A and B are shown apart, each in its own frame.
Chain A
């Protein structure tokens, strides 16, 4: 038997250590993102864990109201596949200017700086990635996360007092978003009084507690319906899931936003209710929420 004497050299023996630098590329992505967010005073994530609870409408109204009060506000629509924030903030669809510094954000109601896939996709088209024809699901999460990273890191946000991020529904997507962010000042979890929402958002609370975010507030949306004629208020749901969720998790219920038909109408028209009808019950409650958010410090959880 012939003894094998050939020795093949290792990759690191033959490669220039700087030639590919995959770790360096990942670190560069991270450092770009951190650098971009360095001029932002408060990073607020608005999430839920349950779809259809009005998270984007709450985000749009909070952003517009805080901006209306004179603060510099940005908003990111993290829901890549169902973007709605740009429309809710009435942002005009004009070409996004790309300079050597990055992409200039669109501007919505009250001067809110905004970025959303809604401004990038063909009108009415779903987000579709260039990917192999089979097993596209394998790539979906990677590409989605990369896109959110770019919305954070490649947009010229400048100096902001607040950057609100409208997170997509689902604990999986929220987890990836939280991993991207170097620091989160406040996590607002939007729910409704329904039992289904209590269970779903409860999972998100549990997830959030594991991330070390110190300031978490619950927002109950669609808590009551107020008759526009007689002013009588009636609960929207029989259950008191939001209050129960607060009790069970030890989180404070920061706001209870009633449902109003004109809230939906204003939202659809791209005119945030807080600007359109600031004296309406929902707008007043959102105003209290905005104040609470502005005053929140890391020890208010």
Chain B
């Protein structure tokens, strides 16, 4: 999906994501020429159907994770079902606040989420993950709900 600023004949660029509630994803786009903004509101039912295919709308931002669909979509999973091995490609520290926030993620998917944040940090040379880094990663990678 693309948005074209008709007056400028320019493709609007992604500016930010928001989660206003009820499963809606709001993606804000901006015209690089005139600065006009618009928000695309996804229909939660349509988005879910596509993600159920294992497809990431907008393209993959992180590598395919093992049992990604199961871990991100099952609501009755066992908190202790998985033991995720630590990152092999580098190390990264977690600030106390970031670690506390990570604890808020259900145990069923926590290891996978931690790995994604870890890889994000390692790839960018970030030594410590803070809540701010988590926010930035969520936005950059499109990790809504993580």
Contacts and interface: CB of A to CB of B under 8 A. Distances in A.
A8 B4 contact: yes
Interface stretch (A39-47, A91-99, A236-244): A91-99
A9 to B, nearest CB: 6
B54 A95 contact: no
A149 interface: yes
A143 interface: yes
Contact of A128 (B4, B57, B75): B75
A142 B78 contact: no
A121 B76 contact: yes
Given A26-B55, A142-B49, A103 B85 contact: no
A15 B13 CA distance: 11
A88 B126 CA distance: 47
A63 to B, nearest CB: 21
Given A25-B56, A131-B48, A123 B78 contact: yes
Contacts, number: 128
Contact of B81 (A20, A102, A120, A146): A120
A158 to B, nearest CB: 15
Determine chain A's interface SS by DSSP, over half rule. mixed
Interface stretch (B28-36, B58-66, B90-98, B128-136): B58-66
Interface string A121-136: 1110111111110010
Determine chain B's interface SS by DSSP, over half rule. loop
A260 interface: no
A149 B67 contact: no
B79 to A, nearest CB: 8
A32 interface: yes
Bin the interface of chain B by size: 35 or more
A26 B50 CA distance: 11
A230 interface: no
A127 B69 contact: no
Contacts of B78: 93, 120-123
Contacts of A99: 85
A143 B69 contact: yes
Given A20-B58, A132-B48, A149-B54, A95 B81 contact: yes
Nearest to A100: B88
A251 to B, nearest CB: 35
A121 B77 contact: yes
Contacts of A125: 76
B54 A129 contact: no
A126 B85 CA distance: 27
B52 A146 contact: yes
18 contacts: A6-B6, A19-B59, A21-B60, A22-B55, A25-B56, A25-B59, A29-B54, A98-B84, A98-B111, A121-B77, A128-B76, A130-B73, A130-B75, A139-B49, A146-B53, A150-B66, A150-B70, A154-B68
Q: Closest 10 CB pairs between A and B?
A: A95-B83, A125-B76, A142-B52, A154-B66, A20-B59, A146-B69, A98-B84, A102-B66, A128-B76, A122-B78
Interface of B: 1-2, 4, 6, 9, 11, 23, 44-45, 48-49, 52-60, 64, 66-70, 72-85, 88, 111-112
Interface of A: 6, 8-9, 11, 14-15, 18-22, 25-26, 28-29, 32, 93, 95-100, 102-103, 117, 119-123, 125-132, 135, 138-139, 142-143, 146-147, 149-151, 154-155
